[in-house]
A and B are shown apart, each in its own frame.
Chain A
């Protein structure tokens, strides 16, 4: 269609592949034109294990999105997840030449490059370097140093990196379709763009995106990303636990989880049972509700506790003022907010994309938070950046996004 304002987000998830088509409008607003999806096969814990199958599924999802939004998709923003993604905070520092004391754009670029000069494992590649704050001659909390006077410019960055080959696998899968990849975005960062408002980012908030195969998180304090990461545990694990604990097939376990599951304990009568109807190849079974909830509760509690321990390594979690926002497919489980509230000892909410117009049913489903977030990310980044080739994709620095 040749519409340059068209933005497409593609998320290759463990349970489903999701394509969201958005259109940039005048005044910086975005409208969602359509959402395409296909069940995902060949993905485990957010990483591709069967290349051919995943390609087919992605194709299916893209075709679906094209039909629904009536546009031709040429390039996409891709979300990546997986337990290999790590992050840390680093500070870059440059000193201005003696004869000059006004900071210009070039200095800001230099300090970004300087901040990136840290050692990450050899097989890893940078995904994002997100600016937190600048410091000019020791003055803290500078948001834009260009034009300020000073000699010493420092910048705090949050750096997210992951294993290069695994990210490239995802990219290759998309490129072979063939689609052009505009950018690669860590999925929790994308989700946070639509789940949180700027005000909530300023107050401090933790976004937990519990998808099918992974649980990704990102922590904002003072409007800047302070911590992020991923855990290779997700809804699939819950389903697997149910399947093994109650000895029922995976497909029935998945259905039971979404229809009847809750992570609140002690909420049912003793001996209360759920009857699974018989089906071809399945004899039917009666399972105890409390048993089901116990399995879900234990898994999610453990996941939250692991996250809490990771977050507790630094003190930022203590400065969260807006609470926890849980999104992703698993956030639909009943009682998950109470559990998170219990573990993290701060208010938690189930959250979905909020800050866009268009297909409201798509926006209100937390399963699509990441894909919609990609659009928002694209809008924020795309505004001040010309298109770049795919070869420079990895290891590039983005600072437009917060």
Chain B
């Protein structure tokens, strides 16, 4: 036995890596792409797709596709998703070509503008038709960018949710929290790009790295499957003495994690720990224990670990999960009876559905088909337009296939538990509560005795 293990070496898997492409759609998308390139990904092709020639020219991506030559004549879309959509349709063949040999495609797009919102769903659709798995990384605009953009972004997100296998959605507003208040605005945007890049790289690594406990596409999609695209993502890396703790701490610092609080609501959490040959079992144990404290007992943890010589002294943690709880309950209770589970695609789409996306490696297939669109649809168009359409919105939390084992976990026991706890805590305080100001003249402003602690007057539970 011992001799055998001595001769045994990890199989060389570099040759059989999965061809991965990363496409940046629109200016925000190609900015994110640049960042991915600068941070370095060795095993993926980068493709910039844009209407705006200037922006395309400044991109450092290896492959560039200018879309909508006739529609926009090399200019941007001026924030009109309809134009972005038409541009993508016009250049459908070119886009299809770049995805020919891909097995997995990341689509990075900043939603809210014209190209990102309009073209990204089309690009996703084309990539799926070419037979790849599609993961969309979308950023939602800052709230100060206006309601119109937010609405456009939401519509595009809904479309992406319908088409892509998984959508990771970043809210720019949350990125703002990561940046010091005095930092320049470019830094806030840079942080968004950085996090997109980080997620692309860590997901690529997740799938490419040969693991001791391997995480496959199936695990990834199980963790990412969500209705509203609210994704939790965290990545941390450390090489200190206490690297297991530090890496986890860093991963939880990610704005999408909300310091790990959000994990409590997640049904599935994917955790991948990668380290150099020096990574010990106890480190993994410590890390998982700490993480275990943040999730609930019935949360399913999809755990993977890999040893990578290039990591050297470092240890990295990737946490991926999605928040689905309320959305799914809502979908089950209210929408499910009204709408068929997998609605037949609209007739206009039929010609494109000739070669339906082969569902490789996804065991519980997340709904691939777009949900029904309205009848008011213009027949001359090939694909559903992305202009704001209330009907689309309504079908946004369209029911998807949900693994049956998930359902019992979601039953409304946790909220009940919560309220009961809160009540008890409040009752613990004594009724007379002015403390050291007991004997002094009360300070009464606006009818409230300010000497009584604020948290008592507002009835806020303090641990």
In chain B, positions 418-460 with a C-beta closer than 8 Å to chain A are 429, 433, 435-437, 440-441, 443, 445-446, 450-451, 453-456, 458, 460
User: Are B443 and A288 within 8 A (Cβ)?
Assistant: no
Extra inter-chain contacts (14) besides given A269-B260, A294-B455, CB under 8 Å: A231-B450, A232-B445, A233-B443, A233-B450, A240-B436, A243-B436, A266-B258, A266-B259, A270-B294, A271-B293, A288-B463, A295-B453, A306-B445, A309-B446
What separation, in Å, do the CA atoms of A336 and B21 have in the docked complex?
A: 47
User: Are A291 and B463 within 8 A (Cβ)?
Assistant: yes
What separation, in Å, do the CA atoms of A100 and B309 have in the docked complex?
A: 98
A250 contacts chain B at the CB level, 8 A cutoff: yes
Distance from B144 Cβ to chain A, minimum over Cβ atoms (Å): 14
Contact indicator per residue, chain A 299-335, by CB within 8 Å of chain B (1) or not (0): 1011000100100000000000000000000000000
Question: Closest 9 interchain pairs by CB?
Answer: A232-B443, A241-B453, A298-B454, A240-B435, A291-B463, A299-B454, A288-B463, A291-B462, A44-B440
> Known contacts A231-B445, A270-B259, A306-B446; is A236 also within 8 Å of B462 by CB?
no
14 examples of A-B residue contacts, CB within 8 angstroms: A45-B441, A83-B443, A232-B445, A237-B437, A243-B435, A250-B436, A266-B259, A269-B260, A291-B462, A298-B458, A298-B460, A299-B455, A301-B454, A341-B181
Q: Which residues of B contact A295 (CB under 8 A)?
A: 453-455, 462
Distance from A108 Cβ to chain B, minimum over Cβ atoms (Å): 38
> Known contacts A45-B440, A45-B443, A270-B294; is A237 also within 8 Å of B462 by CB?
no
Q: Which residues of A contact B454 (CB under 8 A)?
A: 241, 295, 298-299, 301-302
Partner-B contacts on A (CB < 8 A): 44-45, 49, 83, 231-233, 236-237, 240-241, 243-246, 250, 266, 268-271, 288, 290-291, 294-295, 298-299, 301-302, 306, 309, 338, 341
What separation, in Å, do the CA atoms of A269 and B290 have in the docked complex?
A: 11
Q: Which residues of B contact A271 (CB under 8 A)?
A: 293
In this complex, the member of A266, A270, A291, A294 whose beta carbon has the largest number of chain B beta carbons within 10 angstroms is A270
What separation, in Å, do the CA atoms of A44 and B450 have in the docked complex?
A: 14
User: Are A338 and B455 within 8 A (Cβ)?
Assistant: no
B252 contacts chain A at the CB level, 8 A cutoff: yes
A273: nearest chain-B partner, CB-CB: B463
What separation, in Å, do the CA atoms of A288 and B440 have in the docked complex?
A: 30
B294: nearest chain-A partner, CB-CB: A270
Distance from A141 Cβ to chain B, minimum over Cβ atoms (Å): 35
B458: nearest chain-A partner, CB-CB: A298
Q: Which residues of B contact A306 (CB under 8 A)?
A: 445-446, 450
Which one, A45, A233, A298, contacts B455 given CB within 8 A? A298
> Known contacts A237-B450, A270-B294, A288-B463; is A49 also within 8 Å of B440 by CB?
yes
Distance from A257 Cβ to chain B, minimum over Cβ atoms (Å): 13
What separation, in Å, do the CA atoms of A162 and B456 have in the docked complex?
A: 31
Distance from A104 Cβ to chain B, minimum over Cβ atoms (Å): 45
Distance from A51 Cβ to chain B, minimum over Cβ atoms (Å): 15
Distance from A215 Cβ to chain B, minimum over Cβ atoms (Å): 10
A232: nearest chain-B partner, CB-CB: B443
B230 contacts chain A at the CB level, 8 A cutoff: no
User: Are B463 and A290 within 8 A (Cβ)?
Assistant: yes
What separation, in Å, do the CA atoms of A299 and B452 have in the docked complex?
A: 10
What separation, in Å, do the CA atoms of A240 and B456 have in the docked complex?
A: 12
Q: Which residues of A contact B460 (CB under 8 A)?
A: 294, 298
What separation, in Å, do the CA atoms of A324 and B96 have in the docked complex?
A: 57
Distance from A315 Cβ to chain B, minimum over Cβ atoms (Å): 20
Q: Which residues of A contact B260 (CB under 8 A)?
A: 269-270
Q: Which residues of A contact B252 (CB under 8 A)?
A: 269
What separation, in Å, do the CA atoms of A299 and B450 have in the docked complex?
A: 9
User: Are B443 and A241 within 8 A (Cβ)?
Assistant: no
What separation, in Å, do the CA atoms of A232 and B434 have in the docked complex?
A: 14
Q: Which residues of B contact A290 (CB under 8 A)?
A: 463
Distance from B422 Cβ to chain A, minimum over Cβ atoms (Å): 14
What separation, in Å, do the CA atoms of A44 and B181 have in the docked complex?
A: 36
Q: Which residues of B contact A243 (CB under 8 A)?
A: 435-436
What separation, in Å, do the CA atoms of A322 and B358 have in the docked complex?
A: 62
B249 contacts chain A at the CB level, 8 A cutoff: yes
B261 contacts chain A at the CB level, 8 A cutoff: yes
Distance from A93 Cβ to chain B, minimum over Cβ atoms (Å): 34
A236: nearest chain-B partner, CB-CB: B436
What separation, in Å, do the CA atoms of A232 and B446 have in the docked complex?
A: 13
Which one, A83, A250, A299, contacts B453 given CB within 8 A? A299
Distance from A240 Cβ to chain B, minimum over Cβ atoms (Å): 4
Distance from B259 Cβ to chain A, minimum over Cβ atoms (Å): 6
Q: Which residues of B contact A240 (CB under 8 A)?
A: 435-437, 451, 453
B259: nearest chain-A partner, CB-CB: A269
Distance from A340 Cβ to chain B, minimum over Cβ atoms (Å): 12
Q: Which residues of B contact A236 (CB under 8 A)?
A: 436-437
Contact indicator per residue, chain B 246-260, by CB within 8 Å of chain A (1) or not (0): 000100100000111
User: Are B462 and A294 within 8 A (Cβ)?
Assistant: yes
What separation, in Å, do the CA atoms of A266 and B440 have in the docked complex?
A: 34
Q: Which residues of A contact B429 (CB under 8 A)?
A: 244
Q: Which residues of A contact B433 (CB under 8 A)?
A: 244
User: Are B435 and A244 within 8 A (Cβ)?
Assistant: yes
Contact indicator per residue, chain B 351-375, by CB within 8 Å of chain A (1) or not (0): 0000000000000000000000000
Distance from B401 Cβ to chain A, minimum over Cβ atoms (Å): 32
What separation, in Å, do the CA atoms of A108 and B438 have in the docked complex?
A: 49
Q: Which residues of B contact A301 (CB under 8 A)?
A: 454
Q: Which residues of B contact A341 (CB under 8 A)?
A: 181
What separation, in Å, do the CA atoms of A349 and B365 have in the docked complex?
A: 54
Distance from A270 Cβ to chain B, minimum over Cβ atoms (Å): 6
What separation, in Å, do the CA atoms of A198 and B210 have in the docked complex?
A: 67
A292: nearest chain-B partner, CB-CB: B462
Q: Which residues of A contact B261 (CB under 8 A)?
A: 266, 270
A298: nearest chain-B partner, CB-CB: B454
User: Are A244 and B453 within 8 A (Cβ)?
Assistant: yes
Distance from B451 Cβ to chain A, minimum over Cβ atoms (Å): 7
Distance from A369 Cβ to chain B, minimum over Cβ atoms (Å): 23
What separation, in Å, do the CA atoms of A336 and B308 have in the docked complex?
A: 45
Q: Which residues of A contact B437 (CB under 8 A)?
A: 44-45, 236-237, 240
Distance from A296 Cβ to chain B, minimum over Cβ atoms (Å): 10
What separation, in Å, do the CA atoms of A336 and B16 have in the docked complex?
A: 56
Q: Which residues of A contact B458 (CB under 8 A)?
A: 298, 302
Distance from B425 Cβ to chain A, minimum over Cβ atoms (Å): 11
In this complex, the member of B252, B260, B433, B437 whose beta carbon has the largest number of chain A beta carbons within 10 angstroms is B437
What separation, in Å, do the CA atoms of A341 and B462 have in the docked complex?
A: 24
Q: Which residues of B contact A288 (CB under 8 A)?
A: 463
Distance from B8 Cβ to chain A, minimum over Cβ atoms (Å): 40
What separation, in Å, do the CA atoms of A231 and B192 have in the docked complex?
A: 42
What separation, in Å, do the CA atoms of A294 and B454 have in the docked complex?
A: 10
What separation, in Å, do the CA atoms of A250 and B438 have in the docked complex?
A: 14
Q: Which residues of A contact B453 (CB under 8 A)?
A: 237, 240-241, 244-245, 295, 299
> Known contacts A49-B440, A338-B181; is A232 also within 8 Å of B455 by CB?
no
What separation, in Å, do the CA atoms of A290 and B453 have in the docked complex?
A: 16
Distance from B450 Cβ to chain A, minimum over Cβ atoms (Å): 5
What separation, in Å, do the CA atoms of A338 and B180 have in the docked complex?
A: 11
In chain B, positions 173-228 with a C-beta closer than 8 Å to chain A are 181
What separation, in Å, do the CA atoms of A266 and B458 have in the docked complex?
A: 19
> Known contacts A269-B260, A291-B463; is A245 also within 8 Å of B181 by CB?
no
Q: Which residues of B contact A44 (CB under 8 A)?
A: 437, 440
What separation, in Å, do the CA atoms of A237 and B450 have in the docked complex?
A: 8
Contact indicator per residue, chain B 235-273, by CB within 8 Å of chain A (1) or not (0): 000000000000001001000001111000000000000
What separation, in Å, do the CA atoms of A341 and B249 have in the docked complex?
A: 28
B261: nearest chain-A partner, CB-CB: A270
What separation, in Å, do the CA atoms of A19 and B370 have in the docked complex?
A: 76
